Homo-oligomer: A and B are copies of this chain.
Amino acid sequence: MPTTLKELAARAKVHPSTVSRVVNQDPSLRIGPTTRARIEALLRETEYRPNGVARGLKLRQTLVLAVVIPDITNPFFGALFRGIEDGAAPRGYQVLLCNTDGSPDRQRAHLHSLIARRVDGVILASSFLKDQAVRWLRHQRIPYALVNRFSDEGLDPFVGSDDVIGARLATQHLISSGHVRIGHLAGQSTVSTGVLRRRGFQMAMVESRLRAEPELQAEAGFVEDGGMRATERLMALQEPPTAVFAVTDMVAVGAYGVARRLGLRVPEDLAIVGYNDIPLAGRLIPGLTTVHVPIHEFGSAAARLVLEQIDSGQVTPKRVVYAPQLVIRGSTASGAEVLNAVNVASRGIGE
C-alpha cells in the first residue's frame, strides 16, 4: 500500500493538514522552518505522491481528458491523438482513448462511462449528424469539443476545416487538369464530412457546367475496403470516370489497390485525389494528391478549447476552422507538372 498523509503525519508528529500544506506548498501559510525541513525529508524518503483519486474527489478535478474516435489504427486518428496529448500534457492532463468502430452504441456507452468517471473534458471525433449522444453530452455541462466532424451546425465547440471548400479545391483541380467524367468516392451521408465533401464536389462540377451524375457518386465510407468496393463499382460502369475524388486518403488507398488490380495506371488511366494528407499519402507511389488539413493542430486546438472551458467554467460553442490546402502529387499529374505545382503550393501555404 502506498503511504498516506496520515501515516506521514504520525511519523513527523504533526497533523495531516500540516503535511498536506507542505506537499502543496501552500503559499498563504508559513510553516516553521524546522517542521518543514522534517516533513520535506520524510516526503523525499518515502517518495510520497498524493492519492490522485482522493484529491480528485475533494478538488472535483481528475486531470483526465477523454478522446472518443472511430479507430486508432486509422492514421488520421493517430495524428489527431498526438495533437490532443501534446495540447493537454503541459497542464498535467493524461488522456483516455476510446474507439467506437463507428458504432453509435459504443459511442454512447463510452460517453456514459466517461461522464460517470468525471473526466474533466471530452473530445469527440466520431460524431454523426444530429447525433443523440452529442445532444446528451451537451446537457451534461462538461467541457467538450467535437473535432473534424460536427453534429448540429454551430451548436457545439468545434475544431475542423471547411470541408466544402476543401472538396471544391480537389474537384476543381481535376477539372482544370482536363477531366470531365469525374467520380466521387463519397463518405457516409450520416456524417458531416461525408455530406459536405460531396457538396463541395457537386458545387465544383456545377460551377464548371459539368454534370455530377448520381451513378458517378458511390458511397465508400471512410476507409480502405469501402474505397475498394466503391472504385470497383465506378470502374465497372459503361463509361467509367477518368478521375476520382475520394472523401479520405484511406478511401483513396482503396482506389489505388483496385487501379493496380485492374491494370490501370495512375494518373494516366485514373487520376486520384484524397483528403486529409495523412503521412501515408506522400509515401504512396505515385504520391497522392490530396487536401491538406492540419491534423495535429486539430488535436492540440481541441485540447486547448476544452482546457479553456475548464478554466472559465463555461461551455462556449466556439469554433476553430482551418482553411484546407490542396497538395499536388503524382496521382493527378506527370512529373513536370508536380514540380510546378509544388512551387505554387508552398508559396500558397506561406501566405
Contact = CB atoms under 8 A, between A and B. Distances in A.
Interface of A: 2, 49-54, 56-57, 62-64, 66, 71-73, 75, 78-79, 81-82, 85, 92, 94-99, 110, 112-118, 140, 253, 257, 260, 279-280, 283, 285
A53 B118 contact: yes
A306 B120 CA distance: 26
A107 to B, nearest CB: 13
A81 B82 CA distance: 14
B96 A113 contact: no
Most chain B beta-carbon neighbours within 10 Å: one of A85, A96, A115: A96
B97 A95 contact: yes
Given A51-B116, A51-B118, A57-B57, A73 B75 contact: yes
12 contacts: A52-B116, A57-B57, A64-B117, A75-B75, A78-B78, A85-B97, A94-B98, A94-B110, A94-B114, A96-B96, A97-B97, A280-B280
Contacts of A62: 53
A119 to B, nearest CB: 9
Contact of A82 (B53, B73, B115): B73
Contacts of A98: 85, 94-95
Contacts of A92: 113
A251 to B, nearest CB: 14
A66 B96 CA distance: 9
A231 to B, nearest CB: 15
Which A-B residue pairs are the 10 nearest by beta carbons?
A: A73-B78, A52-B117, A49-B116, A97-B97, A53-B56, A52-B116, A53-B57, A72-B78, A53-B118, A94-B96
Given A283-B253, A285-B285, A94 B113 contact: yes
A96 to B, nearest CB: 5
B81 A72 contact: yes
A59 to B, nearest CB: 10
Nearest to A106: B89
A118 B72 contact: no
A64 B96 contact: yes
A126 to B, nearest CB: 14
A3 to B, nearest CB: 12
A94 B117 contact: yes
